């Protein structure tokens, strides 16, 4: 179900978010300087706006014990961890997605990883279901599909870890059973 994060008063156990960081599409532009590559096909947000949007969600739409799973990229790894700390969160794990790709052009190396950071508030971590403790590791290996699309394995892992928890996806691009969602493309 789609929710309006500015009006809803529902409370969630899991916030899963994939912010629209400002970035290029990859090394294409440098390899082929005259190509139009490099632009994202959706609007992006400044770091400050991303921080404020999440603060509003965390303050108003979370249960006391909750976890935040936030996607980020190398370019913003430090900033993401910093602003989450400023919002009162501790990082529990950096889950790395190894994005399996073909041989794409790159100026130096191909960036083939993204991070799914797990945050919680001190003393308020929501523990995963007993039957899956230790089942998942900090590495997800999955093929890249559409640009910016995150691996299905991430949903499957969270659904398995927190079977009965209420879940909200921010910046979603598709509906998924068992999740509420919000975003301008869903």
Ligand X SMILES: C[S@@+](CC[C@H](N)C(=O)[O-])C[C@H]1O[C@@H](n2cnc3c(N)ncnc32)[C@H](O)[C@@H]1O
- Per residue, the 3-state secondary structure of 20-72, as one string, reads CCCCCCCCHHHHCCCCCCCCCCCCCCCHHHHHHHHHHHHHHHEEEEEEEEEEE
Q: Per rule CB under 6 A, is residue 180 in the interface with ligand X?
A: no
Contact string (CB under 6 A) for ligand X, positions 2-21, x = contact:
----------------x-x-
What 3-state DSSP class applies to 118?
A: strand
Which residue, 88 or 184, is less far from ligand X as judged by CB? 184
Paired residues of 93 in beta bridges: 118
- Point out which span in 5-13, 39-47, 93-101, 125-133 binds ligand X (CB under 6 A): 39-47
Helix axes 47-61, 77-86, angle to 10 degrees: 40
- Point out which span in 42-50, 62-70, 73-81, 134-142 binds ligand X (CB under 6 A): 42-50
* Residues 97, 141: Cα–Cα separation, whole Å: 6
Residue of the chain from 106, 155, 160, 183 that contacts ligand X (CB under 6 A): 183
Q: How many residues bind ligand X (CB under 6 A)?
A: 13
Joined tokens for residue 159: 């659904």
| Contacts to ligand X from residues 76-95, by CB under 6 A | none
Residues within the interface to ligand X (CB under 6 A) = 18, 20, 42-43, 45, 148-150, 171, 173, 183-185
């Amino acid at each position: 179900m789609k929710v309006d994060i500015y009006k809803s008063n529902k409370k969630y156990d899991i916030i899963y978010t994939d912010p629209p960081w400002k970035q290029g599409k990859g090394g294409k532009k440098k390899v082929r300087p005259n190509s139009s590559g490099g632009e994202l096909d959706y609007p992006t947000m400044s770091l400050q706006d991303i921080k404020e949007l999440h603060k509003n969600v965390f303050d108003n739409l979370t249960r006391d014990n909750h976890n935040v799973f936030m996607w980020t990229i190398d370019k913003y790894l430090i900033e993401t961890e910093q602003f989450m700390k400023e919002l009162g969160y501790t990082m529990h794990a950096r889950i790395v997605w190894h994005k399996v790709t073909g041989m794409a052009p790159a100026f130096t190396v191909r960036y083939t990883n993204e991070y799914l950071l797990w945050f919680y508030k001190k003393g308020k971590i929501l523990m995963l279901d007993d039957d899956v403790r230790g089942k998942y590791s900090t590495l997800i290996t999955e093929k890249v599909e559409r640009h910016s699309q995150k691996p299905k394995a991430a949903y499957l892992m969270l659904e398995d870890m927190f079977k009965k928890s209420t879940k909200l996806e921010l910046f979603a691009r598709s509906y998924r059973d068992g999740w509420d969602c919000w975003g301008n493309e869903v």
